[in-house]
Structure formats: C-alpha cells, structure tokens
Structure 1
Amino acid sequence: MKFSCEKALLQAAIATSSRATAPKSSIPALEGILLEADSELRLTGYNLETGIRTVVPAQVAEGGSLVLSARLFGDIVRRLPDDMVSFSAEGLTVHIQCGMSEFNIQGIDPEEFPELPAVEPQNALELAQSTLADMINRTLFAVSDNESRPILTGSLFEVNGSTLSVVSVDGQRLAIRRETLEKAPNMDFSFVVPGAALSEVRGICSDVEETASITTGARHIMFQVGSTLLVTRRLEGEFLDYRQAISRKSTVLLTADVRQLMASIDRVSLIISEKFKSPLRCTVGDGMLYFSTRTAIGDASDQCPVTGDGGELKIGFNNRLLMDALKAVPTETALLKMGTSSSPCIIVPTDAEEGAEPYLFMVLPVRLSAG
C-alpha cells in the first residue's frame, strides 16, 4: 500500500471518519480508521452503531488496506508540516513522511475491521446540506437521553407529500422543523434516526446548497453528503403521536422579541444551579411578562415587554428547557401560546398557518408551590 496526499485534505478526512470510531473498545480495530487504497483512497470509522466513510483525493501508487489508531494517526498528521504526505506500508508496518518528519508505526490487520452494513434502498429523499443541518440543529436538543424509551433517543423523519418534518421529543418538550422538498418522493414514509448519528450528520454537512441524500433500508439509514457516507441503524418502535400531544386550545397569545425574552430569563436564572434548583415563575400581564425565582442563594426578578394580555396567568417552567427552545427560534420575534398554568407553552412563527408551521417548539410547565 502506497499513496501520497496533501496534508490538509488527509487531516480533514481523518477528522471526519474519526467521528464514528469507538473511544474505547475490546476490539482494537474499532478504535481505528480503515484505510483502503485502489483507484481512490477511502477512510472509514465504525463503532458498530454508526459508520462514516469518506473519500480523499490522493495519488495511489500501490493498493491495499490497513487499520490505524484514529487518535495516533490523527495526532501525527495534524502535527506534520503543510506539505505532501507520503504513506507506505509493508505488512502492518507503516512509514509516514512529510517534509523532514518521519514516523514508523504499527497498524492493525484490516480483517479485524467489521464491514459497514449494506443498505438495500426502500425509500430516498434529497435536500440541501444547509437545510438538513438546520433541521437537525433546531430539533436535536429535544431528543431524549432516557434509554427506557429507546425510540425517543432519536428524531422522527416524516415525509408527507412534499413536506419533510423532523420531530424530537423527550417527555418535557417537543421540537418540530418542517421544510418543503423540491423533489417530492413518490410515497409517504417515516423513520427514526438515533440522536448520536444525527449529531455526526450535522458535523459533516456544510453550509452550502449542494444536495445531501437520505436512503432508508429495512434496518439501516444512509446519509450521503458530498464525498462522505454515513450509515446508522434505524430505531424501531412506535414514536409518540406528536400531533395529539400538541395543545391547540390556547387562550393567551403573546408576541415577543426573542432576544429580549432570552436576556430576561438569563438574568433571573443566575441564581439557579444544579445544586440550587427552582422553577422559573412567570406572570403574564397586559403587555408585560414578569419573571421571578427564589433559591437558597437569594431571589431575582425581571420583566420583558410583550404584545398581548395574559390576564395575570401564573405559570412555571424549567428555565433551561425554555431557553433551549428559544435558542432554536430562527426569527427575531415569535408567538407564544399558553392556556392554563398546567398546559404547555407553544412557540411558533408569528404569521404561520396553524398545523403547517416551519418550526414549532413546545415546553411543558412545572408545578408551582403556593407563594
């Protein structure tokens, strides 16, 4: 095996494929990157849950395959001078040279590296990389980390006509992001992708209009982003009926400046911590939203102007969950819908058609003690 490659390109490919390597494993090959050279150079990382394969431009003089420690290989290439990297292997002994730097390290038998699962196509869709990254970014925060309901540790991708919806829910909050597809698939379908895999998909997407494709199989899902391929298992089970979970009986409608609202919550939250927890108490007045909280550290209050009247509704929230939802709002202003002290707060665009909002965030309230 023998090839040469630009340092920057090789470093980027190692960083991408390393996203799917296991940090620690009883199988040493899973902590490594599989290098395969023939007509092209491919780097693959696989932790038995998610696999990432990327192609890097290289001049291949001799084909072959080998597994190298992702950490060591990455550290070596990152510290090399900005020049062409020459790579050659005799058996499992690898020689790396760049400029005046030389390394001789031991590799791992490629036979010990498991094959990536094959994805037999059932359904497929395409959308811009930037759009896919944005849809993941605005919903991933609401994915559950509770393994007692594995299906909720992923996001639901739902294709209905020409609309793609990505939905995440963790029992206390819900996030939906919708987008109209330029090329609508021939049929409606849905699938659930593990949150950990979506985090890696977001990392390999660029802020460009170039297309990313998603292909679903019986047990796995494949994301093709440029020259990089990510394969992950699909989560099986019945996802929450999110449409039934969304309360549409709101009597309080408030239009708020998102940044002002976040600033007020952030200030009041200064005395809340993991050690000193307390709900964020909200009183919805006429044209004003009042916040207060009290812990062993002290108490704090603030207020934010809004458009609308809540009739002095008192409602409590987990400050972190409410802030996470507001951070995901893409617009300067948003519409907050509330009902009673026990019904959720729904955040949507100010002018969106009900049921077809491009984004929707829902946060359940917490019970307030008397006084």
Structure 2
Amino acid sequence: MLKFSCEKALLQLAVNTASRTVATKSSIPGLEGLLLEGTEVLTLSGYNMQTGIRTRLEADIREQGRIVLNSRLFGDIIRKMPDDVIVFSADEKYMVTLTCGETRFEILGLSADDYPEMPEVESEYALTLQQGTLKAMINQTSFAVSTNENRPIHTGSLFEVEMGGVTVVSVDGFRLALRHEKLEKLEGGAFRFVCPGSALNEVEKICEDSEEPITVSLGKRHLLFETGSTELICRKLEGEFLDYKNAIPRNNPIRLLVDTKTMLSSLDRVSVVISEKLKSPVRCIMDKNIINFSAKTGNGEAEDVCVVEGDGQGLEIGFNNRYLMDALRFAPADQVIMELNTGISPCVLTPVDGGDNFLYMVLPVRLKA
C-alpha cells in the first residue's frame, strides 16, 4: 500500500509546512487530513478548498501508494518521535504502523480516493524573484490588507508586474501600504492579480530569507507559488481593486524628515492612555522642527514632543495611533519623508532619497474641537 522510511527532521518539517492549509473543520473528512503520496519521492499535501500546499521530500520508498492521515494526530506523533529514521507502513485496510527506534504507533488512515484534487495552474504569466525579497514585500504590506468582507477584493494584495519591476499594494479604507522592487528581467508581458491575504501569510512562511528563487504563476482562476520543494496554490480574487495611483495625493506642501524609531517611541508613549474601550485619535501639532503629540481619554492625558526636520506650518491633524505606528514600523527605512497638506488630507510616508521602493498612506481622523 505505502511503505517508506525517512529522517524524522525532514518529515516533521514537511508535515509542519503542508498542515498549515489543512481545514480545521470540514464536511469532507479527508480535508482535515494530510495526503501522503509515495512515488519516486514522498509528497505531502494539505488543502482547504481555498489554499493548498504541496511539499516534496527525500524518502526511501519501498512500496508506492497514497493515504490520508489526520493532520493533527500524525503531526503530534512525528513531533514526539525520537530523532532517528522513521519507518512508515500502511496496509490495505489503511492501518498505519509508525516505528522509530523503540517507539511504535498504530493509527487508522483514510482512503485517498475521496481527497479533492488540487487545481492545476496553466501558467499564462510568471514572475521569478528571490524568496527573501518576496517575503519582505509581503511582510511590509500585509498589515494593511482589509478584513472587511463587504469589499472582498481588498481582503487581498494587488501585485502589478511590469517591465520596470513588481509593485505590491494593500489597502483597507483607512491606510495604504505599497512596496516596489526592480526586476532584472520579465519573461512574457506585464500582468496583475490580487492574491488573498490569508494565502500571502502562508507564502511568507514558505519563503526563506535567502536569494533562492520563488516563481509566481498566474492561471485563469488560480495562482501558484513555487519554491524548491514546496508549492502553494490559491484562488485569485476577482473585482475592481482601488485605483491607488489616483488615491495618493502628490505635491504635498509640508515635508518633514522623520526618524522612524524616534517617532514610534513618541507615539507609543502617548498611546498609553488609549485602549480598545477608550479610543481616541492622537492629536498632532506640526511646528518648526517639532511635532507635539497628545492624546486624551477617560484613562488620562498624555503629551510628547518628537524632533523632526522641516516646518510643519502649524498644521493640526489627528491620526489613529495604531495605523500611523504600523506605517512607521513596517517602512523599510530608518528615516522617512512625511508629506502632509491639510488636516483632512492623507499623510504620505516615502523614502528620503525620493525613490519609489515604498509608500505608506494614512488617512487622518477628525479631531473634536
């Protein structure tokens, strides 16, 4: 039926990877399991009908076959096994015996015949970049993905791939996060797609901080992310994504040079009086070379001064503390340019050198007089 032996560490890594897209509860029993397939290599798959992960590993396969095992139980067993070679054997009645050194487990599996097929992605367009680069781009934009199901298209990030490079944009109605990276070469033409935020969180986890490549392929309905031994397949989101180029205000008269860590510390201090129950915007008064931050709730009042470079022209503006802090925290630079116009127009954070590799926008909150 299926018999193989393999190093515990390799099997545990593969189980951890594939089980991240296993359905926690499903009317199809197989979906709560991992699909193990032994041919020339051993393949483990997890699939929740939205996102699927398939990962391959080296194993000594004695009998080819396929079986579905409860993901949580199988994962727990492998994790608790001693660090040695695990011997796996399944019979025709789906009874699985796992041995490792003196340790032995028997568990019952399921037939793989009822396990839904993961979609095949006929690639129309593809993009290849370094895993470390894609991981950073997702990390620095995914916090601004919307959780509001009323606009499903914004529960994902927009990828725009052109000759000049790749741009990732996330937006949730209160803020926008944009990252751009130049591309060495682009095979085929320009293309764009929206990938669900939930799938991108998993893509971020299968990427390593390395220069190893990851290929992103766009099919008619699905997306495929491929690294060396692992692939992730998900449905792409359909709909009209925000026309972000026109949403970002340009030519803002007020430009301040800000140290991100310094401003984060200031905002963190005045945020002490703000809580989930007692919300309040942070009031910012922009003066010459300083910003006065203050917040007032039922908990008390807080004030702090942040030193900047530039003239804020006395502008008074309010922000949701968390949204402004997120933008500063995820901006990949120690210093940013903060662009402002009026008390009701967005604040834009861009690179000091005028480059286009990131842009964060935060909408202001109306202040009570």
TM bucket, shorter chain: over 0.9
Q: Deviations over 1:325-363 (max 9, x none)?
A: 11111111110000000000101111124xxx1000000
C-alpha distance in 2, partners of 1:186/1:108? 43
Tell me which of 192, 208, 211 is aligned to 2:210: 208
* Residue 3 of structure 2 corresponds to residue 2 of structure 1: yes
3-state SS in 1 of match to 2:232: strand
Q: Distance in 2 between matches of 1:219 and 1:244?
A: 28
Counterpart in the other structure of 2:36: 35
Q: What is the Cα deviation at residue 230 of structure 1?
A: 0.4
Helix, strand or coil for the counterpart of 1:305? Answer: strand
Indicate yes or no: 2:119 matched with 1:95.
Answer: no
Which residue in the other structure is 1:277 paired with? 279
Counterpart residue identity of residue 195, structure 2: V
Could you tell me which residue of structure 2 aligns to residue 344 of structure 1? 346
Residue 57 of structure 1 aligns with which residue? 58
1:162 deviation in Å? Answer: 2.8
What is the CA–CA distance in structure 2 between the aligned matches of 1:111 and 1:174, rounded to whole Å?
A: 45
Residues 140-219 of structure 1: pairs in structure 2 closer than 5 A:
140-219=142-221
Letter in 2 for 1:213: T
Alignment of 1:282-321 (within 5 A): 282-321=284-323
Please say if 1:138 is aligned against 2:137: no
Distance in structure 2 (CA, Å) of the matches to 1:64 and 1:230:
23
Alignment of 1:232-271 (within 5 A): 232-271=234-273
SS of the equivalent of 1:312 reads coil
Q: Separation in 2 of the partners of 1:183 and 1:98?
A: 48
Answering whether residue 329 of structure 2 is matched by residue 333 of structure 1, we say no
For 2:365, the equivalent position in structure 1 comes to 366
Q: Does 1:20 align with 2:16?
A: no
Q: Distance in 2 between matches of 1:209 and 1:35?
A: 30
Residue pair 2:163, 2:185 contacting (<8 A) in 1 also: no
Cα distance in 1 between the residues matched to 2:286 and 2:228: 48
Aligned residue identity for 2:296: R
RMSD of aligned Cα (Å) = 0.7
* Alignment of structure 1 residues 62-77 onto 2, 5 Å: 62-77=63-78
TM-score, structure 1 as length reference: 0.98
TM-fit CA distance, 1:227: 0.5
> How far apart are the structure 2 equivalents of 1:277 and 1:44?
44
The one-letter amino acid paired with 2:352 is T
Distance in 1 (CA, whole Å) between partners of 2:332 and 2:81 is 40
| CA drift at 1:271 | 1.0
Q: Distance in 2 between matches of 1:267 and 1:48?
A: 44
CA distance in 1: counterparts of 2:13 and 2:326, whole angstroms:
31
SS at match of 2:312: strand
Instruction: Name the amino acid aligned to 1:8.
Output: A
User: Is there any run of 5+ residues in structure 1 with no aligned partner, and where?
Assistant: none
Superposition deviation, residue 186 in structure 1: 2.7
1:286-344 Cα offsets, whole Å, 9 max, x none, are 00011000010100011110000111110000001111111111111110000000000
Q: Equivalents in 2 of 1:2, 1:197: separation in Å? A: 32
Q: TM-score, normalised by structure 2?
A: 0.98
Q: SS state of the match for residue 152, structure 1?
A: helix
Deviations along 1:157-200, one digit per CA (max 9) or x if unpaired, are 10121310001101110011000111223311100100000000
Per-residue displacement from partner, 1:100-146 (whole Å, max 9, x unpaired)? Answer: 11000011111121000011111001000000101111110110011
Q: Does the 8 A contact of 1:162 with 1:185 survive in 2?
A: no
Q: Distance in 2 between matches of 1:218 and 1:13?
A: 29
Secondary structure of the equivalent of 1:11? Answer: helix
One-letter amino acid of the structure 2 residue matched with residue 292 of structure 1:
S
Aligned residue pairs total 367
Q: Secondary structure at the residue paired with 2:121?
A: coil
In structure 2, stretches of 5+ residues that fail to align are: none
Aligned-pair identity in percent equals 53
Q: Which amino acid aligns with 2:67?
A: L
Conserved in 2, the CA contact under 8 Å of 1:143 and 1:195?
yes
**TM-aligned CA deviation for residue 272 of structure 1:** 0.6
How far apart are residue 249 of structure 1 and its match?
3.1
Native 8 Å contact 2:126 2:188 kept in 1 = no
- Tell me the secondary structure at the aligned position of residue 345 of structure 2: coil
Deviation, structure 1 residue 63: 0.5
